[in-house]
Amino acid sequence: MINVYVIGSGIVGVSCALNLLEKGVKVTLIDKENSVKETSFGNAGVITRSSAYLINNKNLIPNLKKYIFNKNPAVRLNHLYLIKNINWSRQFLYQSLEKKSERNISYLDSIIRVSLDEHKKWLTQSAGMSRLREGGWLKLFHSEEGAMATDYEQAIYNKLGINFDILNAQQIQILEPALKHIYGSALHIKDAVSVDHPGEVTQSYINLFIKLGGQVIRDGIQSLSIEGNQVALHGQKSYLADKVVLAAGPWSNDLLKCVSKPIPMCFERGYHRHYQFPEGPRLTRPIYDVDSAFVLTPTTQGYRLTSGSELNDKTAPDSFVQLDKVSISAQQSTYLGAPIENTEWRGNRPTLPDSLPAIGPCPNQDNIWLAFGHQHIGFSTGPATGRLIAEMISQQPTFIDASPFSPARFY
């Protein structure tokens, strides 16, 4: 029996570990944190095929002027950081060309479309199905014409078979009475689901992994080395593995570069803050205010408000400019209680130039397997990634063609 270490216990890592364990592999999950704190903790908990509609689609280049001067709340750029990573920036724009982006959208949808069933499997086994909400989610526009202007996005949804409705102001109020009367139109993504706290759900999957016989080690791995036919992991202690799965999100390249060429990666940093629930009606599903660029979702810790993307280095100082701006917009959208102390959070979402994760063996180190680069939608793509990794390591037929996600595309 091979001995596999999975580095990183976020949604991607634990999905790899659970699927490998299911196939009879001896698996150790290793992470420096005692609880889920990073990217898998801080997202909105939405699982939706609409996430396949990539940021770098054919409309990106024509709309660059909206973002370049940091006047749009959806994106905040550190220009020096992007210049430093100019090759990534060029490739990100190149991949937005229509044929390339639509191909990438199709590839991404191929793993998102099965992730809900994977989530349901682990939620059932961890007695967590009650955490799943099946009311879809809302993309809201302030004007009556806002939803109608998304004709290209709607065309992609129709092509993929994503179920959605266009709502007017009255229909929005019927669906979500807790919203104030500021929205003129919306897209209701009907087959989306969400959970009441993604970090807690991910932790329940880790607990399930342990219950099923998996081993968890808390240690911060600082480097890797090749020792004969095995891989050595070096932290406070050293460990030997037959195979290693790198699922450490934004820190994966730090380890990969010890044994191979790193993958081109930049970071979509994101922020959130929690608010107490108000008296009276509450939102029943996540909402995305497209014009003001925030997501608001009900969680076990009150409302979670998340801001747009900040393209910056993962070690750069926190900047709550976007979050502070959208907190004003959110107050105009619905009734919020008081901010909950000590709930401000920042995470690093690792994004590859084509917005597709790297899933598969490292081309020049076949004992190293990569499972990272899920940008800001790892909760929708992580479970299927785990299934692919387990099938490939077990040398079984994969449920889809895994070649579009192969790390070899960067070598």
- pLDDT tens digits for range 228-240: 999 999 999 999 9
Average pLDDT over the chain, rounded to an integer: 96
User: What is the predicted pLDDT for the residue at 42?
Assistant: 84
User: What is the predicted pLDDT for the residue at 1?
Assistant: 81
Sign of CA dihedral 399, 401, 405, 410: positive
Beta-carbon count within 10 A of 236 CB: 11
Which residues does residue 179 pair with via DSSP β-bridges, in sequence order?
334
User: What is the predicted pLDDT for the residue at 41?
Assistant: 83
User: What is the predicted pLDDT for the residue at 233?
Assistant: 98
Which residues does residue 132 pair with via DSSP β-bridges, in sequence order?
195
Nearest to 299 by CA among 195, 379, 204: 195
- 267: tokens are 């970071």
Report the percent of the chain where pLDDT is more than 70: 100
pLDDT exceeds 90 at position 35: no
Identify the band that residue 262 occupies on the pLDDT scale cut at 50, 70 and 90. Answer: very high
C-alpha distances (whole Å) from 241 to each of 18, 144, 255, 304 are 17, 58, 15, 39
Mean pLDDT of 279-291: 96
Identify the band that residue 37 occupies on the pLDDT scale cut at 50, 70 and 90. Answer: confident
Q: What is the DSSP letter of 340?
A: P
User: What is the predicted pLDDT for the residue at 39?
Assistant: 77
Is the distance from CB of 75 to CB of 308 less than 8 angstroms? Answer: yes
237-262 as b/e, with b when 16 or more CB fall inside 10 Å?
A: eebebbbbbbbbbbbbbbbbebbbee
Beta-carbon count within 10 A of 220 CB: 12
User: What is the predicted pLDDT for the residue at 71?
Assistant: 86
Identify the band that residue 362 occupies on the pLDDT scale cut at 50, 70 and 90. Answer: very high
pLDDT exceeds 80 at position 34: no
Identify the band that residue 330 occupies on the pLDDT scale cut at 50, 70 and 90. Answer: very high
Strand pairing class (287-289; 75-77): unpaired
Q: What is the CATH number of the domain that holds 215?
A: 3.50.50.60
User: What is the predicted pLDDT for the residue at 33?
Assistant: 81
* CA 406/CA 411 separation, integer angstroms: 10
pLDDT exceeds 90 at position 36: no
User: What is the predicted pLDDT for the residue at 155?
Assistant: 97
Model confidence, pTM: 0.96
Mean pLDDT of 150-168: 97
pLDDT exceeds 90 at position 66: no
Is the distance from CB of 264 to CB of 352 less than 8 angstroms? Answer: yes
* CA 389/CA 369 separation, integer angstroms: 8
Beta-carbon count within 10 A of 226 CB: 14
Is the distance from CB of 385 to CB of 357 less than 8 angstroms? Answer: yes
- 153: tokens are 């996005």
- Coil, strand, or helix at residue 132? strand
Look at the chain and report how many structural domains it folds into. Answer: 1
Identify the band that residue 104 occupies on the pLDDT scale cut at 50, 70 and 90. Answer: very high
pLDDT exceeds 90 at position 40: no
pLDDT exceeds 90 at position 58: yes
pLDDT exceeds 90 at position 252: yes
Q: What angle do CA 101, 105, 108 make, to 5 degrees?
A: 135
- 114: tokens are 């099965």
Nearest to 88 by CA among 251, 311, 254, 255: 311
What is the signed CA dihedral for 129, 306, 358, 266, rounded to 10 degrees?
Answer: -170
Mean pLDDT of 14-33: 96
User: What is the predicted pLDDT for the residue at 38?
Assistant: 80
pLDDT exceeds 80 at position 304: yes
Report the percent of the chain where pLDDT is more than 90: 94
Give the total residue count for the chain: 411
Sign of CA dihedral 250, 402, 114, 207: negative
Domain span including residue 356: 3-410
Least confident residue range of 58-72, 125-139, 165-179, 285-299 = 58-72
C-alpha distances (whole Å) from 208 to each of 204, 212, 214, 355 are 6, 6, 9, 30
